[in-house]
């Protein structure tokens, strides 16, 4: 099944997606983060918050595009969801495929390991020790995942637990399923 997903996402990426130079995207995001850091005078907690909020708003819109382009159906389990997020979602939007790993035994929490992160190419954190401890540079992703998954009736908690920009070995996002939301679609729509 995984092979099937991968082949079809490759195909969608190749043939059905309008693309832009990743560097342009990277430096646009970078200028947004830099501006926030300046505005909040290096209060990195606030920067993280704003990035997540912005991400949430992006996520709830992104999901429409995702469904339209990929025609992905309903996932049977949270395990399926994890695979789709990585192999379809990340692939079709950012052209990377994070590893899905570190499942808890109850099957409700897993990690995404980003070996490549287009947001953080050529990035160095501000040269103060606090930035390395407090700033989650790519925090927009936590919001995007929350927003997008909420739109398909999954309430999740998403956090970064490590980031190579901080000197960690790898960049890891942790996703925890909180609950399935009640289907609020009008009758007659699936």
Report the interface residues with another protein, using CB under 8 A. Answer: 17-25, 27-32, 34-36, 39-40, 46, 50, 53-54, 56-58, 60-62, 65, 92-95, 118, 121, 147
Q: Which is nearer to another protein, 34 or 108 (CB)?
A: 34
Pick from 80, 73, 106, 98: nearest CA to 178: 106
Nearer to another protein among residue 12 and residue 109 (C-beta) = 12
Least spacing, CB of residue 11 vs another protein, in Å: 14
Q: Among 143, 128, 155, which residue's Cα sits nearest to residue 37? A: 128
Interatomic CA distance for residues 164 and 100, integer angstroms: 17
Structure tokens at 25: 């995207």
CB of 41 to another protein, least distance (A): 9
Query: What is the nearest approach in angstroms of another protein to the Cβ of residue 45?
Result: 12
Nearer to another protein among residue 68 and residue 187 (C-beta): 68
Query: DSSP assignment, residue 88?
Result: I
How far is the C-alpha of 41 from the C-alpha of 28, rounded, in Å? Answer: 20
Our CB check for another protein shows the closer of 82 and 92 to be 92
Which is closer to another protein, CB of 23 or CB of 115?
23
Q: What contacts 54, CB < 8 A, 6 or more positions away?
A: 32, 140, 143
Beta bridge partners of 180: 154
> 122 with 114: CB under 8 angstroms?
no
């Amino acid at each position: 099944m995984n092979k099937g997903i991968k082949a079809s996402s490759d195909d969608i990426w190749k043939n059905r997606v309008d693309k832009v130079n990743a560097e342009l995207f990277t430096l646009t995001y970078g200028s947004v983060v830099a501006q926030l850091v300046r505005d909040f005078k290096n209060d990195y907690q606030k920067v993280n918050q704003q990035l997540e909020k912005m991400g949430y708003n992006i996520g709830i819109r992104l999901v429409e595009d995702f469904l339209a382009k990929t025609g992905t159906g309903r996932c049977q389990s949270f395990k399926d969801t994890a695979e789709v997020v990585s192999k379809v979602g990340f692939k079709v939007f950012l052209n990377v495929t994070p590893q899905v790993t570190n499942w808890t035994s109850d099957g409700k929490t897993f990690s995404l390991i980003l070996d490549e992160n287009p947001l953080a190419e050529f990035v160095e954190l501000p040269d103060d020790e606090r930035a390395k401890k407090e700033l989650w540079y790519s925090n927009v992703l936590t919001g995007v995942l929350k927003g997008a998954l909420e739109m398909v009736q999954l309430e999740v908690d998403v956090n970064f637990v490590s980031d190579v920009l901080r000197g960690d070995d790898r960049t890891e996002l942790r996703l925890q399923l909180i609950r399935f939301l009640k289907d609020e679609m009008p009758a007659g729509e699936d």
